[in-house]
Structure formats: C-alpha cells, structure tokens
Amino acid sequence: QVQLQESGPGLVKPSETLSLTCTVSGGSISTYYWNWIRQPPGKGLEWIGYIYYGGSTNYNPSLKSRVTISVDTSKNQFSLKLSSVTAADTAVYYCARSIYYYYGLDVWGQGTTVTVSS
Amino acid sequence: DIQLTQSPSFLSASVGDRVTITCRASQDISTYLAWYQQKAGKAPKLLIFAASTLQSGVPSRFSGSGSGTEFTLTISSLQPEDFATYYCQQLNSYPPTFGPGTKVDIK
C-alpha cells in the first residue's frame, strides 16, 4: 500500500527557508492530490496546501506569500518550501494524500518536527 | 475561512459507552466533511468522509451523520484503542479547515 515519509532539517533559523520532502512509496505520485499539513505543539491542524499530479497548486491564503509546493515525478517525491520562517512556524509537518479532494486525506506520513530557533 | 467548532472539547468515558461528538460549521458545507482520529505522537487517521461514508478498514462502531452546518461522529461502543483526539475537517471551501478537536479520555 502507499506510504509517505517526510524528510528534512529539524532545525531552521528565523528568516530562513524551511524545506521538506515527502517520498511516496508503494504507488505513483503521478495522480491524486499531495498535501502538506502542520500542527504546532499542543495545537490543532492547519492545511498548508496541495499539488495536483498535473502540477497545479492550491495554497492556504494565510501562508500563500511564503509557500511553494513542487513535485518531482522522477523521484516520486513532492516538496514544501516555506520562506521567512519565524517561531510561529515551529510545528510537526505532515504530508498526506487525497484521492479526491472532497474525500479527505486518506494516507499520511508519520510527520516531522521542525523547530525555528537561532 | 469557514470556522468549525466541536463540542465537547473534552469528554471522559468508559469502555462500552456510546460517544457522540458534534461539529458545527460557520456556514453551509453540504456534506463535505471528514472526521479524523489522532493518537498522541501519531499522524491523524481518516475515519469518515462525505459526512457519513466509512473509510475502508475503519470499524463499523464509528459512524457519521449530518449535513449543512451540523454534523456528528458517533462511536457506538467505545473500545480501549479509541481513546484519542478527534478532528472534523470541512472541504467545501478553500482553505479546508479543521475543528479544534475533541479529546476522548478514559473515565
């Protein structure tokens, strides 16, 4: 079955760019919607955005000016870049799949903790 | 953004209890609602989509209902593995938003 695995630095300095990658195994990335979601410590879930296999993207307006999601079909990976980070961006970051947008997020990665600190 | 509220925020229940969690939307979202279960230190797990459709592999003691602005998640007979935090998510409008969560704890 499809599995997702996040990877990237666990510590990012303020004002720098957070970069994470999600590797998809057990299935092709060349279909469906591929999402990023985050969860600050002790808080709820926030949807960051998705990339559709064709390359189209949709971002949360609250983060849109700082977010880029891209896909590398040759590596079966998709990536998140979040620029100009502050302590408020400290969170567990999850990647997740939607087969059909309206049907929710059916497969999730285990999550990776990113701390923004100097 | 569409705001979701959940009630209660916390509930204490015993194994075998029937548990109901309510999710209310700030505007009509038809049936574009999903429910997730999250255990401590783990990723959320999709339980129900389209308000009432059980995700494959999810036990039948979980059920969802509702449309418009009011939705419920029901666990018919609480099992030890069900103690977790439950979130609703609306997918009617961008950005998709989550409720604040309901923590189900052991009485």
Nearest to B89 among A61, A62, A104 (CB): A104
**CA pair distance B43, A72, nearest whole angstrom:** 24
Q: Could you read off the pLDDT of B38-54 as tens digits, one per residue?
A: 999 999 999 999 999 99
Residues of A with CB below 8 A from B101's CB?
A: 44
Quote the pLDDT of residue A75: 94
Quote the pLDDT of residue A101: 87
Residue A105's pLDDT band, with cuts at 50, 70 and 90, is very high
Q: Do B34 and A45 touch (CB under 8 A)?
A: no
By CA distance, what is A111's nearest residue in B?
Answer: B43
**Is the sign of the CA dihedral A31, A110, A57, B57 positive or negative?**
positive
Q: Do B50 and A102 touch (CB under 8 A)?
A: yes
Q: What is the mean pLDDT of residues B9-13?
A: 97
Q: What is the mean pLDDT of residues A85-101?
A: 96
Quote the pLDDT of residue A30: 85
Q: Could you read off the pLDDT of B83-96 as tens digits, one per residue?
A: 999 999 999 999 99
Nearest to A44 among B45, B95, B100 (CB): B100
Q: How far is A107 from chain B (nearest CA, A)?
A: 8
Q: Do A105 and B99 touch (CB under 8 A)?
A: no
CB A21 within 8 A of CB A4: no
Provide, for chain B, the percentages of residues in helix, strand and coil under a 3-state DSSP scheme, each rounded to the nearest 5: 5, 50, 50
Residue B100's pLDDT band, with cuts at 50, 70 and 90, is very high
Mean pLDDT over all residues of chain A? 96
Mean pLDDT over all residues of chain B? 97
Q: What is the mean pLDDT of residues A46-66?
A: 94
Nearest to A104 among B34, B94, B100 (CB): B34
Quote the pLDDT of residue B31: 97
Q: How far apart are the first and last CA of chain B?
A: 36
Residue A53's pLDDT band, with cuts at 50, 70 and 90, is confident
Percent of chain A with pLDDT over 70: 100
